[in-house]
Amino acid sequence: MSREAIQKALDDAGVSFDSVEAANVGYVFGDSTKGQRAVYEMGRTGIPVVNCNNNCATGSTALYLSRQLIAGNLARCALALGFEKMQKGALGLDGQGDVNPLDKHVDGMTELGGDRGKAPVAPWMFALAGQQHSKQYGTTKEQFAKVAYKNHKHSVNNPYAQFQDEYTLEEILGSKLIFEPLTKLQCSPTSDGAAAAILANEEFVKEHKLEDKAVEIIGMGLATDVENMLLDPISLVGFGMAQMAATKAYTQAGIKATDAQVVELHDCFSTNELLTYEALGLCSEGEGGKLVDEGDNTYGGRWVINPSGGLISKGHPLGASGIAQCAELNWQLRGLAGKRQVDGAKVAIQHNLGLGGAAVVTVYQKYGS
């Protein structure tokens, strides 16, 4: 999978692997030098390879590190790679006798929201955040389900999506209940996959005449949990760090959320997509349900959010998801997204979240805009 992803990225960029001066590789499960093993599929060139693991934000963290190399003039061309081959079933909290990195999150959520019973940890946490949003703002289970309806509908036009089936709202609401209000069709699946991106400085782009293939990263922010994360379920699933990362990225880019046309965000569960609308400043806090009802998250609305089908339909191979989001937004800004193309896309926002925690927000711009 990694070999295929790297080769497709190189072919798309129009460069050879010999041009790559460094690689940052993300994956969540596996031994420590799997990144090197994946890169060696392209040859052993002696370049530095760094492995990173930031839970579900791992892919965009690899992208962040490669961008740092370029911005710091430590490399002219770098690779960001993410991959994952996952075990069947829901993610667990199995440790190796040491402190679990999510212990404070789980303990805090248990204190605030009660026992999870037999529910897997991740949907339980994001379901409780959705329940809190409903209590505070009146958000309905239908509004959460409409997010999944939209993403499944978008995935029909994505040949890279793990699932490409459209469902009715009734089918989504009527699928197996995982934890109220989340049903199975509102949850991201277990997935295998890989994604890669080539980053280069402007000198390299011009030297190799790659202007027509280029998209600019004009802002990028990475943040971790803030002090108030134990206040409520919404804070515990990363709302504050997403806000912080977005502020950093928007400030660097000199934009507002309203300047974007297309967004790929971390819809591990439908509740989190709706919460993230507010964290990213697409609407005010408490108005995520209104944004859904007004259709401002799909074609014909204010933004097209998760045109790829999102994690719910495209799939969520943890280490690859952040770079797969990057690929989708690159295709959108270059007009290469086929039937899912967003008209007039010039600015794009990406959000990738990992509990424990890390949030990465990236702003892209069509080259030369």
Question: Rounded to an integer, what distance in angstroms lies between the CA atom of residue 184 and that of residue 243?
Answer: 28
Contact 307, 340 (CB under 8 A): yes
Question: Rounded to an integer, what distance in angstroms lies between the CA atom of residue 365 and that of residue 369?
Answer: 7
Q: Which two tokens stand for residue 201?
A: 């400085």
Contact 292, 302 (CB under 8 A): no
For 296, which DSSP code? T
Backbone angles phi, psi at 216, to 5 degrees: -95, 135
Residues that are catalytic = 56, 316
Q: Which two tokens stand for residue 321?
A: 């998801």
Question: Rounded to an integer, what distance in angstroms lies between the CA atom of residue 221 and that of residue 359?
Answer: 8
Contact 128, 141 (CB under 8 A): no
Question: Rounded to an integer, what distance in angstroms lies between the CA atom of residue 22 and that of residue 13?
Answer: 16
Beta bridge partners of 83: 194
Question: Rounded to an integer, what distance in angstroms lies between the CA atom of residue 342 and that of residue 339?
Answer: 9
